Chains A and B, each alone.
Chain A
């Protein structure tokens, strides 16, 4: 089959370029494969329960549901409402601890 020189790249090639994984994705995959992500999730859950963050979020959700009525709230609404407050109120000690763990993992995985 004669191919025109000016033919644009095939769709597959374009898709491949878009699908080139970012560094974030690579780290995520490596962490899941080694099981580190699971461990870190458990650690994070434990810390957030200990410091009362989970109870705080629960209380926020309850208040929101009370305000709107139980039949008028979806999971997405709740997630949308508490995400900014949740992110802001995570204690620095927990952030530090997790960052150190991730850094240690990256060093050991030689990325």
Chain B
């Protein structure tokens, strides 16, 4: 085996990235060659469209060969940083690059080399890859000079932060609170162990699509806090002067009803009527799509609020619906001929993910496991593809994977000035407070004039880290293993919300496309409750895991109440 040299690399964290300390040879190289020894390499790099892989620039007909053995077919060839001699590295057979390193003298160090095909640094003495900020900066600069960057859109300017000011009530406010409030402990104890805010919703005629989404919204932490803290008061709401309807007022009514402690099932008739007036095309007693209802409802809350307060739609500050659910998607379209990239930013209120055929089917491994009995969860690795299960993270991978646009969808490239075939890649520029993942289970084909439902099971985690799907991560992986801060990283990572999310509600669908039923599972104090129209029961976590997820709601971890905190107390 290759001789292992013990690296005492300490890792230090900068900007949330672990940055390894340079090996002694790299440090020596820096010492010998001035402050920016790698900047000159920028001119030697060639960025290959469309993916943007960096490699050492060479004539297209030139064949790189090892200077010692003449081999041109070995997969790793390294060019010495000092003398540009190319050597091969084929452990454990031979490493001519290591031999080359021995030429190091006091005058010149031949220990640092660069991979000819990948533009990555290698220390010949340590026989391992090394990383250097200055080198990565040169790679990024080589990229940016070959790509014309689009101007930063307005909605990404940093928001002004307000200083935190503590508050405690004065005597008058205190007496106001005491006189107008009733203690809640007495009410909750008489209703067994069910937490507050659990109340069944009567089905008013195929309205399970509405009930299921409403149950999820009632327990969306930032939304619940907004309405329960009287931020939208239905008695004082100005939009109701006249006969204009306000969905937010009806929602406020429902929040009060749901959290008042009464356990009898509630009938959301007034809200249904208001919603019908807002979305008249969906007003019928037919079964509707829960996701469509969700979007329509957010739109309704936004519309009515914006009309009054004339707040511009910027950074999602226009209304509570957008403040909670709105994120920003980044779309990059790269020309496959010249590499020119066009970037656009679009707001989104949810993520609609495709449930495509199993990747597992093309990778037959020796173990064949059935869907539900697979113990992939225990491994903690992303080995689910071996078992052939679709997972939420798999869907997100697919969502952010570069996709080749077909020859019938050629994109007009500004650099080439003609329509070219392109590569499109999505990533998330800004995460919302609450992420709603909608799984596209209902396929409507206008070509074949038929619709069908995809029943395949999807595995979803209780905790989700969205970091790999952020624009900063996607961009970083496009450039290879670099440590240079990127366009996506510009905002201070301390002030930005984290990327860790917790699951709190799952809307499931059972049955056929036209004759099905929606049910919501809610996670409160680490217990799961099934909300099936008017019936609420506590269920086992495994029941939820085995259910057919249609919409999954995740909230930022810092907004999620831990199981140890009892609601209504402290």
Contacts across chains A and B counted by CB atoms under 8 Å: 75
Which residue from A28, A35, A63, A80 sits with its C-beta under 8 Å from B91? A80
Task: Judge if B144 is at the interface, Cβ distance under 8 Å.
Answer: no
Given the interface contacts A71-B9, A74-B128, does A53 sit within 8 Å of B72 by beta carbon?
no
A80 to B404, CA, bound (A): 32
Task: Judge if A108 is at the interface, Cβ distance under 8 Å.
Answer: no
Task: Judge if B296 is at the interface, Cβ distance under 8 Å.
Answer: no
Q: Which residues of B contact A35 (CB under 8 A)?
A: 60
Which residue from A28, A32, A49, A89 sits with its C-beta under 8 Å from B365? A89
Cβ distance B415 to chain A, nearest Cβ, rounded Å: 20
Tally of contact residues, A, Cβ under 8 A? 34
Given the interface contacts A55-B385, A59-B382, does A72 sit within 8 Å of B4 by beta carbon?
yes
Contact between chains at B73 and A24 (CB < 8 Å):
yes
Q: Which residues of B contact A24 (CB under 8 A)?
A: 73
Contact between chains at A51 and B362 (CB < 8 Å):
yes
Contact between chains at A25 and B397 (CB < 8 Å):
no
Which residue from A25, A52, A70, A79 sits with its C-beta under 8 Å from B385? A52
Q: Which residues of B contact A74 (CB under 8 A)?
A: 2, 4-5, 126-129
Cβ distance A28 to chain B, nearest Cβ, rounded Å: 5
Task: Judge if A29 is at the interface, Cβ distance under 8 Å.
Answer: yes
Given the interface contacts A24-B73, A70-B11, A75-B129, does A80 sit within 8 Å of B2 by beta carbon?
yes
- Of residues 1 through 39 on chain B, the ones whose CB sits less than 8 Å from some CB of chain A are 1-2, 4-9, 11
Q: Which residues of A contact B360 (CB under 8 A)?
A: 52
Q: Which residues of B contact A33 (CB under 8 A)?
A: 60-61, 63
Cβ distance A85 to chain B, nearest Cβ, rounded Å: 10
Task: Judge if B416 is at the interface, Cβ distance under 8 Å.
Answer: no
Contact between chains at A55 and B7 (CB < 8 Å):
no
Task: Judge if A77 is at the interface, Cβ distance under 8 Å.
Answer: yes
Contact between chains at B4 and A77 (CB < 8 Å):
yes
Task: Judge if B381 is at the interface, Cβ distance under 8 Å.
Answer: yes
Q: What residue of chain A has the Cβ atom nearest to residue B58's Cβ?
A: A32
A38 to B51, CA, bound (A): 13
Cβ distance B48 to chain A, nearest Cβ, rounded Å: 8
Contact between chains at B63 and A76 (CB < 8 Å):
no
For the residues of B in contact with A, the DSSP-based class is loop
Which residue from A49, A59, A79, A91 sits with its C-beta under 8 Å from B383? A59
Cβ distance A18 to chain B, nearest Cβ, rounded Å: 9
A32 to B324, CA, bound (A): 53
- Of residues 380 through 398 on chain B, the ones whose CB sits less than 8 Å from some CB of chain A are 381-383, 385-386, 397
A24 to B381, CA, bound (A): 39
Q: Which residues of A contact B203 (CB under 8 A)?
A: none
Contact between chains at B72 and A28 (CB < 8 Å):
yes
Task: Judge if B374 is at the interface, Cβ distance under 8 Å.
Answer: no
Contact between chains at A55 and B2 (CB < 8 Å):
no
Task: Judge if A103 is at the interface, Cβ distance under 8 Å.
Answer: no
Q: Which residues of A contact B219 (CB under 8 A)?
A: none
Q: Which residues of A contact B2 (CB under 8 A)?
A: 74, 76-77, 80
Given the interface contacts A35-B60, A74-B2, A77-B2, does A53 sit within 8 Å of B363 by beta carbon?
yes
Q: Which residues of A contact B129 (CB under 8 A)?
A: 74-75
Which residue from B8, B51, B381 sits with its C-beta under 8 Å from A59? B381
Cβ distance A83 to chain B, nearest Cβ, rounded Å: 10
Contact between chains at A80 and B1 (CB < 8 Å):
yes
Per-position binary interface string of chain A over residues 43-66, scored 1 when its CB falls under 8 Å from any chain B CB and 0 otherwise: 001100101110110110011000
Contact between chains at B128 and A76 (CB < 8 Å):
yes
Which residue, of B8, B11, B383, has the highest number of chain A Cβ atoms within 10 A?
Answer: B383
Task: Judge if B497 is at the interface, Cβ distance under 8 Å.
Answer: no
Contact between chains at A63 and B1 (CB < 8 Å):
no
A45 to B60, CA, bound (A): 20
Contact between chains at B401 and A32 (CB < 8 Å):
no
Task: Judge if B516 is at the interface, Cβ distance under 8 Å.
Answer: no
Contact between chains at A29 and B72 (CB < 8 Å):
yes
Cβ distance B114 to chain A, nearest Cβ, rounded Å: 14
A71 to B5, CA, bound (A): 10
Q: What residue of chain B has the Cβ atom nearest to residue A51's Cβ?
A: B362
Given the interface contacts A76-B128, A77-B2, does A71 sit within 8 Å of B63 by beta carbon?
no
Q: Which residues of B contact A59 (CB under 8 A)?
A: 381-383
Contact between chains at B381 and A63 (CB < 8 Å):
yes
Which residue from B7, B61, B127, B397 sits with its C-beta under 8 Å from A71? B7
Task: Judge if A19 is at the interface, Cβ distance under 8 Å.
Answer: yes
Which residue from A38, A46, A89 sits with its C-beta under 8 Å from B363? A89
Task: Judge if B473 is at the interface, Cβ distance under 8 Å.
Answer: no
Cβ distance A58 to chain B, nearest Cβ, rounded Å: 8
Contact between chains at A19 and B73 (CB < 8 Å):
no
A79 to B386, CA, bound (A): 21
Q: Which residues of A contact B401 (CB under 8 A)?
A: 49
A53 to B363, CA, bound (A): 8
Contact between chains at A91 and B72 (CB < 8 Å):
no
Given the interface contacts A28-B73, A80-B1, A80-B91, does A93 sit within 8 Å of B363 by beta carbon?
no
- Of residues 334 through 392 on chain B, the ones whose CB sits less than 8 Å from some CB of chain A are 359-360, 362-363, 365, 381-383, 385-386
Q: Which residues of A contact B48 (CB under 8 A)?
A: 38
A28 to B64, CA, bound (A): 11
Contact between chains at B72 and A76 (CB < 8 Å):
no
Q: What residue of chain B has the Cβ atom nearest to residue A58's Cβ?
A: B382
Q: Which residues of A contact B8 (CB under 8 A)?
A: 71
Closest 6 A/B residue pairs (Cβ): A74-B128, A52-B359, A33-B61, A76-B91, A75-B129, A51-B362
**14 pairs, CB–CB < 8 Å, chain A vs chain B:** A45-B51, A46-B404, A53-B363, A56-B385, A70-B11, A72-B6, A74-B4, A74-B5, A74-B128, A75-B128, A80-B2, A80-B92, A89-B365, A91-B362
B contact set with A: CB distance below 8 Å? 1-2, 4-9, 11, 48, 51, 60-61, 63, 70, 72-73, 91-92, 122, 126-129, 359-360, 362-363, 365, 381-383, 385-386, 397, 401, 404
Besides A33-B60, A59-B383, A77-B2, 7 new A-B residue pairs in contact (Cβ under 8 A), listed by A number: A32-B61, A33-B61, A55-B385, A56-B363, A74-B2, A75-B129, A76-B2
